[in-house]
Amino acid sequence: MNHAVTLSQLRTCAAAVAVLVLTGCASTANNPQDPFESYNRVMYGVNDAVDRAVLKPVATGYKNVVPGFAQTGVSNFFGNLSDAWSSVNNLLQGKGEEAGTDFGRFALNSTFGIFGLLDIASEAGMPKHDEDFGQTLGKWGVPSGPYLILPLLGPSTVRDTAALPADFGGDIWKYKEPTNWRNIGAAIRVVDTRASLLDASSLLEDAALDRYEFLRDGYLQRRQSQVYDGDVPRQLNNDDQDDGDTGVNTQVVPTPVSTEKP
Amino acid sequence: MKPFMHLVAAAATVAISTVLVAAPAAAAEAPDALVKRISNEVIDSVKADKDIQGGDRSKIMGLVNEKILPYVDAEKMTQQAAGRHWRAATPEQKQKLTTEFRNLLVYTYAGALSTIKNETVEFKPMRGAPTDKDVEVRSQVNVSRGEPITLNYRLSNESGSWKIYDVNVLGAWLVQTYTSTFNSEISKNGVDGLIKRLADRNAQLAAKPLAAPAK
């Protein structure tokens, strides 16, 4: 299977889905941030089935068989490539210092870190800041728009989906020649990423009563937090996310609590 | 005579300042110090105990019960997750719901504990006034690969000691993440329906072996 084709197919697919959704799937949604819930639940089911059948077993095998240092090397290698794009996005967000650090990481790890296999920059006290174009748009004031589950790619929002072509374009590995190396690398990258999420996904299965809702509400908060670099204004946090069905804000503001105790 | 008076005055000063300084400190450990202490104790216990790393459920539960639960306001967490439905619940329902929700969190947390390996926790400076009754303690977990994991806590001080009532992992607040599910379950099947759902899940988790490390 040709990965380049897969990527462009994915994009077409995502666009088609967006059109489909925007022209109005019947919706039984009860969360204002998730008007496409009925479509999203179906796509979530499809992704989950693919994950259970293929990706999760492969990732589990990878985690159990491949030596730890090699796994670390793989995730450092691709993490290093993404640092370059993070640096660009930090610059676009006006965060000069972070942009400098991420570029420094990329330069240091690509050279002394042997093509990024070693993350010596982290050890030298240069922290990684993952940034993508969706976060940049968010920083520029573009609202996230409705929650959207993409085929194979999983949870996203309309804004982040619109940002995907830029993120694909900013991915250095995309330009790797020859193509079959690129495809093998892309597959390893997906498996390695899934492997790093195995613990988290089994926690999710334990913790969530309704995995779809749990993932959605966690994901949307996480994206918002990423846009604010972990510093979401508390008021905004409460306003943005209410429990959904009536718009009643049941939130985390603790002040009235003591009067209601039994 | 004069040196003696000096001494008395000095002693009095020391006594008074000790009382003033020490008393509040004894009454309530500062929220960030509290979280830091719990967090260090838990991580040290896990790192020192091969059984826990291997997924020994009773040991992990013991650790959670002893080190963490005394500092968690489970009722406040449950109340906020239940939102407007809380008021309509009977005291008995509130109590049952709190117990089941707390147990679910304990089971989940126990699963997370057994995955601790080389992580270190770094605390960020506190914000806000010392007189605040509701604070956020911010920390990050430095992991071997990738970006550090955000781990923040909300604590309130309603009865003289600080208690945790919400946790933020990777940017998502736990209570808020449960709010939708609580709301839709209660709307469909009432508070008792939610209690049953939580109880069923807890029974399932109790029967299932903790995920042992892959290697």
Give the pLDDT band of residue A259 (cuts 50, 70, 90): very low
pLDDT, position A28: 46
Q: Which of B138, B144, B171 sits opposite A221 (nearest CB)?
A: B171
- For residue A224, tell me if it sits in a domain: yes
pTM across the whole model: 0.77
Q: Is A197 left (phi over 0), alpha (psi -120 to 50) or beta?
A: alpha
Out of B75, B187, B197, closest to residue A209 by CB: B197
Q: Indicate whether B58 pLDDT > 80.
A: yes
Residue A137's domain spans which residues? 36-238
Nearest-5° Cα angle at B202, B200 to B208: 105
- Cβ contacts of B165 on chain A, cutoff 8 Å: 254
The confidence band for A253, taking pLDDT boundaries of 50, 70 and 90, is very low
Chain A interface disruption, residue of B176, B202, B204, most A CBs within 10 A: B176
| Cβ atoms B146, A196 nearer than 8 A | yes
Residue A234 is assigned to a structural domain of this protein: yes
The per-residue pLDDT for A122 is 87
Residue B96 neighbours by CB distance under 10 Å: 20
Residue A84 lies in a domain: yes
pLDDT at A24: 46
Within a domain: A15: no
User: In terms of CA atoms, which chain A residue is nearest residue B183?
Assistant: A243
The minimum CA-CA distance between B36 and chain A, rounded to whole Å, is 20
A158 and A146 in contact (C-beta within 8 Å)? yes
User: What pLDDT is recorded for position A217?
Assistant: 92
Give B6's pLDDT tier (boundaries 50, 70, 90).
Answer: low
**Arithmetic mean of pLDDT over chain A:** 82
Burial string for A109-145 (b: 16+ CB within 10 Å, else e) reads bbeebeebbbbbbbeeebebbebbbbbbbbbeebebe
CA distance A74 to chain B (A): 10
Q: Above 70 in pLDDT, residue A13?
A: no
Peptide bond into A143 cis (omega under 30): no
CA dihedral for A28, A34, A35, A36, sign (positive or negative):
negative
ipTM comes to 0.76
Task: Say if residue A211's pLDDT is above 50.
Answer: yes
The confidence band for A258, taking pLDDT boundaries of 50, 70 and 90, is very low
Show the tokens assigned to B111. Answer: 């699963």
Helix, strand or coil for residue A252? Answer: coil
pLDDT at A104: 94
pLDDT of residue A246: 38
**H-helix segments, chain B:** 2-27, 31-48, 50-53, 57-63, 74-82, 85-88, 91-113, 174-207
Q: Quick check: A206 and B107 CB within 8 A?
A: yes
* Rounded-to-integer distance, Cα A55 and Cα A44, Å: 15
- Report how far residue B8's alpha carbon sits from residue A64's, in angstroms, rounded to the nearest whole number: 72
Q: How far is CA A60 from the centre of its chain?
A: 20
Give B100 or A240, the one with higher predicted confidence. B100
β-strands B134-142, A147-150 pairing: unpaired
**Which residues of B are less than 8 Å from A210 in CB distance?**
180-181, 184-185
- Evaluate if residue B22 carries a pLDDT over 60: no
Q: What tokens were used for A74?
A: 């793989």
The secondary structure of A17-77 as a DSSP string is HHHHHHTT------STT-TTHHHHHHHHHHHHHHIIIIIHHHHHHHHHHS-HHHHHHHHHH
Asked if residue A169 belongs to a domain, the reply is: yes
Q: What confidence category does residue B73 fall into, taking pLDDT thresholds of 50, 70 and 90?
A: very high
Here the tokens at position A158 are: 């309309």
Partner residue opposite A257 with nearest CB, options B76, B82, B187: B76
With beta carbons under 8 A apart, name residues in chain A contacting B175: 252
CA distance B132 to B157: 9
pLDDT tens for A143-174 read: 999 999 999 999 999 999 999 999 998 888 98
Q: What is the pLDDT of residues A61-84, one digit of tens each?
A: 999 999 989 999 999 999 999 999
What is the model's pLDDT at position A123?
85
The continuous run of DSSP H or E covering A206 comes out as helix A198-207
Which one of B143, B173, B194 would you mutate to disrupt binding with A, by most A Cβ within 10 Å of its Cβ?
A: B173
CB < 8 Å to A60, chain B: 214
Tracing tokens 């930090």 back to the chain, one arrives at A90
pLDDT digits (tens, 9 = 90+) for B74-119: 999 999 999 999 999 999 999 999 999 999 998 888 877 777 777 8
Higher pLDDT, A52 or B56: A52
Nearest chain A Cα distance for residue B188, angstroms: 12
Rounded-to-integer distance, Cα A21 and Cα A34, Å: 12
Pairwise CB contact (< 8 Å): B80 & A217: no
Flag whether A31 is in a domain. no
Q: How many domains does chain A have?
A: 1
User: Binning pLDDT at 50, 70 and 90, where does residue B3 land?
Assistant: low
Compute φ and ψ for A182, nearest 5 degrees.
-60, -45
Instruction: Give the whole-angstrom CA distance, residue A21 versus residue A25.
Output: 5
Percent above pLDDT 70 for chain A: 78
Backbone angles phi, psi at B163, to 5 degrees: -135, 145
By the 8 A CB rule, do B207 and B200 touch? no
Phi and psi angles of residue B154, each rounded to the nearest 5 degrees, phi first: -105, 130
Which residue from B177, B187, B198 is facing A221, i.e. has the nearest CB?
A: B177
**pLDDT in the model for residue A61:** 94
Distance CA B74, CA B70 (A): 10
Per the CB < 8 Å rule, is A251 touching B176? Answer: yes
* Cα–Cα nearest to A68, from B214, B36, B41: B214
Smallest CA–CA distance from A72 into chain B, residue: B145
Whole-number Å distance between alpha carbons of B93 and B87: 11
Average confidence (pLDDT) over B128-136: 84
Higher-scoring residue by pLDDT: A53, B210 = A53
Q: pLDDT band for B8, please (50, 70, 90 cuts).
A: low
Residue pLDDT, tens place only, B139-161:
988 877 667 888 899 999 988 88
Average of pLDDT values for A101-107? 94
Check whether A244 has a pLDDT greater than 50. no
Across the A/B interface, how many CB contacts are shorter than 8 Å? Answer: 137
In a domain, A259, yes or no: no
Q: Considering only A209-223, B2-16, B25-39, which range has the smallest mean pLDDT?
A: B2-16
Average pLDDT on A219-248 reads: 68
% of residues, chain B, pLDDT over 70: 83
A252 within some domain:
no
